[in-house]
Structure 1
Amino acid sequence: MKTRRPPADQRLLPSDSSPATFWVTNPDNVVRDNVAAGSDGHGFWLAFPEHPTGLFAATFPTENQAIWPRRTPLGEFSGNVAHSNGGDGLHVDSGPRPDGQTETSHHHARANPADTGSASVTTEFGRFAGYKNRHRAVWLRGTGHRLTGAVLADNAVGATFASHESFLQDSLLVGETANKGAPTQYETDRGRVGRDGRSLPRPWDSSFPIRGYEFYDGRVGAERTSFVNFQPYVTPSGQARQQSALGYNLTNHFSIHPRNFATALRFVNANRVHLPDLVVGYDGDASSVFLDTDGSVTGTAGRTVASNNPFLLGASCAPKAEWNAHVCDGDYATLSVGTGDGEPAAIKPLRLTRADGRIQTLMGSQSDSTRAHSSVLTNSRYGVEYNGATPQRARFVLSRGRDRWVQLNVSRAEGFRVTRYGCNVGDPAKYCYGAAASLAALASATKSSYWYDNRGDADPATGTLHLKLVSNGTDYEELKAEPPPAP
């Protein structure tokens, strides 16, 4: 059975533009030992709506509102195979809305789906085989997902998790197998084939970099997994074709977890890593780092692989040309800078400047973003420059950096207060009091604090606000600079 994309005037639902052989909207099902092959779209599409849609929603509206597929535990998904599909082999995302359109959908199973405070339930996709899919073998979006015992081969990308606390475990990923496929005569005549004339997952883009596991969002990671036959080469048409076992999702605007990780990996005939070149405007690409917990990637436990971005590199970093990356001993966290005034232009662009003058230029993840995020070396100092004057309401967050600190300086007019979770840091009567008496005192502070340099009041419109964010025993620390409340 082939799953075809119907003409636009014959589609029953807008989602028919990307059809799937198996389209599952209720997680509480058993999907075991099936094969999805040759779809114009996805093989298995687990498309979970916020609430059920269609006839049931119209007939039983009250009952419908009590059902939460995006928080319902998975019944079973095991032993399934997806190959030769035009999209993803397994796609867990893009749930339907009541109007038939789809939207980004995050699956986070709970013991009680109606209670977001109930215990998380791990979701396992076991013994999945995905090969010769033109896009990805696996795309997951959610929290607490595990892809275990998978075999993924001859795909454009093996697996990408747009997820949190989701891991690839005990699996085998192969870049190119002995199965060369059957390229069309058109592809062969135009050189849109790989080495030895093999078919390519994306023949229209013969330079597309093949990757086994892509880091994205996070925290995500790969554990106890083997990568085989990921070697770059030049195609018959003269295109340089990168291949790597590990990489990052390309052209990425979004925040990246600096502790995405690799553990107990094995490589056979495989370039271990290749990271994309830096392009201004793709904040995620500019922040790409991941942790090698045990040395199976870099040779030394605890080292970080960082993209070829000077802003991320410290004195300990050593270049790795074949990876287009550096290997570093430095420690990284996420710095988020935003505006509470609701004006996206304030961070387009936003500039962070290290003490040595190296600059990170950020644009935020979307056109309406009011925050920008960057990986930063911890226990370091940075200048912050908004697009135009510093907003009246400015927000600074250090996350994913427990027991670390960053010190910031930003131009700021007088007439503000600094708060920590709503508490006035400058008020000696408050529990959070911690205003520093000098810049030197701020530098030695062991809890979040600030000092304001008013330039001798020569010009009250110009001054420098120095902030120190210290994450004591927490992965999240926030300071705001905002107008004082009205009397």
Structure 2
Amino acid sequence: FTLAPGMIAPLTPPCYDTAGTPLSKVHLLKMEAFFLKLSKDSSPLPSSVSTESAAVCPEQDPDLKPWNPGHNEDNRVEITNGKKFLLSSSATVHSIHITSGGKLVIKDNVEPIVLRTRHILIENEGEMHIGSEICPYQSNVTIILYGRADDGTQPDTYFGQKFIGVSRGGTFEIHGEKKLSWTFLNKTLHPGGMEKGGYYFERSWGHRGIIVHVIDPKTGEVVHSDRFDTYKVKGESARLVQYLSEVANGMILSVAVNDEGSRNLDDSARKAMTKLGSKHFLHLGFRYVPVVPILPAQRLYYREKYSEKLADKIWQNELNFLSPPFWFSVRPKLTVTIDTNVNSIILTLVDDVRSWKPGDRLVVASTDYSMYQAEEFQVLPCRACKPNQVKVAATYLHTGEVVDGVDMRAEVGLLSRNIVVLGETEKQCYEYSNKLCSFFDFDTFGGHIKVSFFSLIRLELIHMGQQTMGHYPIHFHMAGDVDEKGGYRPPSYVKDVSVHHAFSRCITVHGSNGLLVKDVVGYDTLGHCFFTEDGPEERNTFDHCLGLLIKPSTLLPSDRDSKMCKMITEGAYPGYIPKPRQDCSAVSTFWIANPHNNLINCAAAGSEETGFWFVLHHVPTGPSAGMYSPGYSEHVPMGKFYNNRAHSNNRAGMMIDNGVKTTPASAKDKRPILTMISGRYSPHKDADPLKPREPAIIKHFIAYKNQDHGAWLRGGDVWLDNCQFADNGIGLTLASGGTFPHDDGSKQEIKNSLFVGESENLGTETMDNEIWGPGGLDHRGRTLPIGQDFPIRGIQFYDGPISVENCTFRKFAALEGRHTSALAFRLNNAWQSCPNNNITSRVFFGEPGPWFNKLNMDGDKTSVFHDVDGSVSQYPGSYLIKEDNWLIKHPDCIDVPDWRGSICSGHYAQIYIQAYKPANSQMKIIKNDSPDRPLSLEGALSKSTHYQQYQPVITLRKGYTVHWDKAAPEELTIWLINFNKNDWIQVGFCYPKKTTFSILSDIHNRLLKQTYKTGTFYRTLQMDKLEYRYPTKGYYYWDEDTGLLFLKLKAQNEKDKFAFCSVKGCERIRIKAVIPKNAGISDCTAMAYPKYIETPIVDVPMPKKLPNTGLVIAPAISGYLVVQSGKPKVVRSDAGHISSLCAD
């Protein structure tokens, strides 16, 4: 580019280099010479990048003219035709329009400036600057966007109202003062500085008498408590006197009476209490209830309250309600609370925070299950603070350390910046959009910024966003490629921005690619916070971004909670009945509509639903329609997902699952567009399912204190490495696709990772905390994820194939009435369980391991996984199965009652039996060597479908019979699943006499959706002839006396390692039967046995047990034991805790 001769003005501090180091005058003189050289020989930059801002401080442009318009809400400002203004004082105008080479610069080094306007529109080579990258703005400026939605102002057809809008050709740059955006606690923050935090105690009937608590004034800890029933028991007075005499000097003593305590309170006890300072115990009467906090020997604080209750009425005055006076009965209730939030405390942080000044606002994330334990603070003056410390006052405990090997340090975000854009709001809600005030009691019509290109650095956004589509705090709208691919050098970016107390999202990336979003803090907003909108957005990078306290919004079905989902039905077809948990309820901190984006060093620290959600658009939606071919986002490889963390989310820390409906509502599907639907992710090279798979790699992910799941990941190749999970309801569920893996041949795996059931992070007990109870190895009180009896699980197997390698499990401890397991299968599972689910490479257990539950759905009955190296069972190569599943059990299996399972050996596979006409039968399958132990299956599909599917795991090279509780199906399709070439079983299907059959074999290629016939089966009168199978010909044997149709099911083709089907496709046998009318129930069990009973033969001998006979205990690390599972029985740790190794 070419610089005008007078453009290079002397550069003056404060200016910084890209590393944040202040530039000296020598540096600045060298830079002047550098820019002069550029004027001679440099190539042009894109037109949307301001040349002046790249060269000098914006306000040093010599063509700028002072501009101080004063305060006039009717003043419509036009800055056009090359005019350049420098604003140096506060102003109020109607609007500002910068176009045709116009320029507005906010002057630095002045008193704080407040600019109030309805909107600012920048277009057609217009520019607005507040500082620059080389000369950050040092003063304070606030842009206030004002106006009501219903005040009669004509909205802009594109931008709407209350906006800063940048159209093509416009430039908007903000560069505020350099401050650290967010960091971590480096030391646990205890409320009031006391390590034990607060205390809450409540009792009613059944806890009568004098209640005493002894409290340590240094920590706030209740060191002892007791109850003395001086109403009923005479000896309790003497015990109370003795107890009081033994309390150490300096302790705080809290004494209260619940219900009644005077009848047997003798003089010695009354005098002892009076000596300690009580005014009321000497004359304590019937149902007087004094509360006495006192400090023996050295009383520092004293307050005594009492009230009186006579008969069954409380208080002796009439109640002054607006309705007529009345009396009512109540229950006695005693509440003791200890609030330690009385002093300020110094926060110790990971990074140097000297850029945070007194008066700045911070937010510290919750480190408990509730995201509402996030706290806002104002930095207090602190001369004693070190460079990594600030002073605040706190209510909740916030962890600042690695707990049991899991990094649980709370995030601390800076909200304050010296440049602020603020949406002016009303004092209460008004309905500018349908039903808004049914959900919010505050005004949600904030300001918004909508752009195609700009650079924002170090900016604070407050009360931004609106509950209308397209109006968000920062909105990159249909900008296309904003990185080098689009000719932008450097790429467009948003850095060091805080968005808080917002009304619609944080950062929206819409139809834009290659954007850098870095060091952004999003706090207390409505709807998805970091939001990619239509599906084609890719190559965007979210680096070191923090989002917390993310609440539901009305905009999209995925934003809405249950109430909103039921009440907002716009866009639905008449008769639509919402199903909130399926259609809505997905609000997330990071909503990623295309996996090909990068998330690095980010934290999702509290959402109503989920932290990170990768959701799929089968086709692009909205104005992006047509930008990619159908299915692209379901197959595109994932970008970088590295070093991210999620906690304090209700539903999950991370989700890869589901899609959104991309078609409008119709009579066929009444749901509105963008409703949540099913979706399957299977990454392949170039997003082409015919090309090699490219696994999605998730590294160094941390998930803790998420109520339901640490992560729920469904897809093709999804691989986790070096991850940490702790204190989640369920740590990790890996799922493939229900009946089949959506991407056959893929697998999910996790390796080198840590799972902690219940850590030393006990949480904070508060009055509004609904779930508090015993837990952990020592049964101490703690916050719990869902309920006191919820079965906590480490890894949950679902579908498969799944591989668990070199993982460690700690502190999974069962309690009476609550099961806990390190490894478990999904409860109430109707789907298949894959025998290729592998546990290998020294999986370690700190406490109980796998659990085979007693639930009664098909998937529950067929649970199985392969213990490759004996990490679980100490029998290398064995399988762990359900104890009563005799389809895969043999006489040499070892029963483990504590596991409700068995350790077995064998070669296993699956058959899928699809039944038509009828499709609602129960199927019974019997292995011929165990006829008295059948397995009954209900089917995986709902009863309303036109066919049913049964998915048993079977032992290969064995014989079986299949029976029905209704008439036999007229059509059967049998799929050979996980059969290697030449694997076989023989099956007899029960049919009524005089049934005739048509049987063929085929191969179905699920990827290409192609099916071709491979052979026909003919009837033989000799059972032995079933062995003969030719490329296009096979045989069936129809034993009409027993009603059994026999087939030998044998795989003809090779199979890849993790594939369910052969390299050519899924091998199937299809049976069509003509069944006599009124044939009745097809259960041939009585006729089949003993005719076809077989002697049990153990084809695969049980492996030898590993040489160690008990638990292998690794060295203690940070106070806990790493225990490798050994002998499958009840074990005792060094701490004396007794629990089952697999106690669920």
- For normalisation by structure 1, the TM-score amounts to 0.86
Match status 1:26 vs 2:604: no
What amino acid is the match of 1:293? V
Residues 808 and 843, structure 2, Cα contact 8 Å, conserved in 1: yes
The aligned counterpart of 2:427 is none
Structure 1 residues 316 and 185: CA distance shift in structure 2, 3 A? farther
Shift of 1:436: 4.8
The aligned counterpart of 1:453 is 1039
Residues 53 and 97, structure 1, Cα contact 8 Å, conserved in 2: no
Render the CA deviation track for 1:370-413: whole Å, top value 9, x for unaligned: 22111122222221123423223222223113243221112334
Count of equivalent residues: 449
The aligned counterpart of 1:430 is none
**Distance in 1 separating the partners of 2:1017 and 2:632:** 45
Shift of 1:340: 4.5
The aligned counterpart of 1:384 is 962
Of residues 696, 699, 723 in structure 2, which corresponds to 1:126?
699
SS in structure 1 of the partner of residue 686 of structure 2: coil
Render the CA deviation track for 1:335-356: whole Å, top value 9, x for unaligned: 2212255x422xx311112222
Match status 1:467 vs 2:1057: no
The aligned counterpart of 1:197 is 781
Shift of 1:423: 4.2
**Distance in 2 separating the partners of 1:95 and 1:177:** 34
**Distance in 2 separating the partners of 1:325 and 1:445:** 38
The aligned counterpart of 1:426 is 1017
The aligned counterpart of 2:948 is 370
The aligned counterpart of 1:12 is 555
Structure 1 residues 298 and 26: CA distance shift in structure 2, 3 A? same
The aligned counterpart of 1:101 is 675
The aligned counterpart of 1:431 is none
What amino acid is the match of 2:682? H
Residues 862 and 885, structure 2, Cα contact 8 Å, conserved in 1: no
Render the CA deviation track for 1:308-356: whole Å, top value 9, x for unaligned: 3243422122111222211111332112212255x422xx311112222
What amino acid is the match of 2:708? H
Match status 1:409 vs 2:988: yes
The aligned counterpart of 1:88 is 652
Match status 1:333 vs 2:912: no
Structure 1 residues 222 and 463: CA distance shift in structure 2, 3 A? same
Residues 112 and 119, structure 1, Cα contact 8 Å, conserved in 2: no
Match status 1:250 vs 2:820: no
The 5 A counterparts of 1:86-485 are 86-98=650-662, 99-113=673-687, 115-163=688-736, 164=741, 165-185=747-767, 192-194=773-775, 195-202=779-786, 205-234=787-816, 240-279=817-856, 282-312=857-887, 313-341=889-917, 343-345=918-920, 348-355=921-928, 356-357=930-931, 358-367=933-942, 368=945, 369-402=947-980, 403-412=982-991, 413-421=994-1002, 422-426=1013-1017, 436-442=1020-1026, 449-455=1035-1041, 463-474=1043-1054, 476=1061, 477-482=1067-1072
Residues 852 and 899, structure 2, Cα contact 8 Å, conserved in 1: yes
Shift of 1:15: 0.8
**Distance in 1 separating the partners of 2:596 and 2:868:** 35
- Which protein has greater RCO, CA pairs closer than 8 Å, 6+ apart? 1
Residues 334 and 399, structure 1, Cα contact 8 Å, conserved in 2: yes
**Distance in 1 separating the partners of 2:641 and 2:753:** 16
Match status 1:68 vs 2:632: yes
**Distance in 2 separating the partners of 1:91 and 1:296:** 28
Shift of 1:292: 0.7
**Distance in 2 separating the partners of 1:66 and 1:233:** 50
The aligned counterpart of 1:459 is none
Residues 919 and 969, structure 2, Cα contact 8 Å, conserved in 1: no
Q: Unpaired segments of 5 or more residues in structure 1? A: 235-239, 428-434, 456-461
Structure 1 residues 67 and 307: CA distance shift in structure 2, 3 A? closer
**Distance in 2 separating the partners of 1:192 and 1:52:** 47
Residues 1025 and 1035, structure 2, Cα contact 8 Å, conserved in 1: no
Runs of 4+ in 1 over 6 A off after TM superposition: none
What amino acid is the match of 1:481? I
Shift of 1:449: 4.3
Residues 90 and 137, structure 1, Cα contact 8 Å, conserved in 2: yes
What amino acid is the match of 1:285? D
The sequence identity of aligned pairs, in percent, is 29
**Distance in 2 separating the partners of 1:244 and 1:265:** 18
**Distance in 2 separating the partners of 1:127 and 1:111:** 24
What amino acid is the match of 2:923? L
Shift of 1:155: 0.7
Residues 940 and 948, structure 2, Cα contact 8 Å, conserved in 1: no
SS in structure 2 of the partner of residue 322 of structure 1: helix
Structure 1 residues 407 and 24: CA distance shift in structure 2, 3 A? same
Q: 10-19 or 190-199: which moved more?
A: 190-199
CA-atom RMSD in angstroms: 2.3
Structure 1 residues 65 and 416: CA distance shift in structure 2, 3 A? same
Structure 1 residues 307 and 401: CA distance shift in structure 2, 3 A? same
**Distance in 2 separating the partners of 1:363 and 1:185:** 45
**Distance in 1 separating the partners of 2:720 and 2:558:** 25
Residues 961 and 988, structure 2, Cα contact 8 Å, conserved in 1: yes
**Distance in 2 separating the partners of 1:183 and 1:223:** 37
Residues 277 and 308, structure 1, Cα contact 8 Å, conserved in 2: no
Residues 960 and 986, structure 2, Cα contact 8 Å, conserved in 1: yes
Shift of 1:360: 1.4
**Distance in 2 separating the partners of 1:418 and 1:483:** 9
Shift of 1:69: 0.8
**Distance in 2 separating the partners of 1:67 and 1:426:** 38
- For normalisation by structure 2, the TM-score amounts to 0.38
**Distance in 1 separating the partners of 2:968 and 2:1014:** 21
Structure 1 residues 207 and 32: CA distance shift in structure 2, 3 A? same
**Distance in 1 separating the partners of 2:973 and 2:964:** 12
Shift of 1:437: 4.2
What amino acid is the match of 1:316? D
**Distance in 1 separating the partners of 2:757 and 2:592:** 29
SS in structure 2 of the partner of residue 112 of structure 1: helix
SS in structure 2 of the partner of residue 291 of structure 1: strand
Shift of 1:119: 1.7
Shift of 1:178: 1.1
**Distance in 2 separating the partners of 1:408 and 1:268:** 40
Q: 242-251 or 309-318: which moved more?
A: 309-318
SS in structure 1 of the partner of residue 591 of structure 2: strand
**Distance in 2 separating the partners of 1:222 and 1:416:** 45
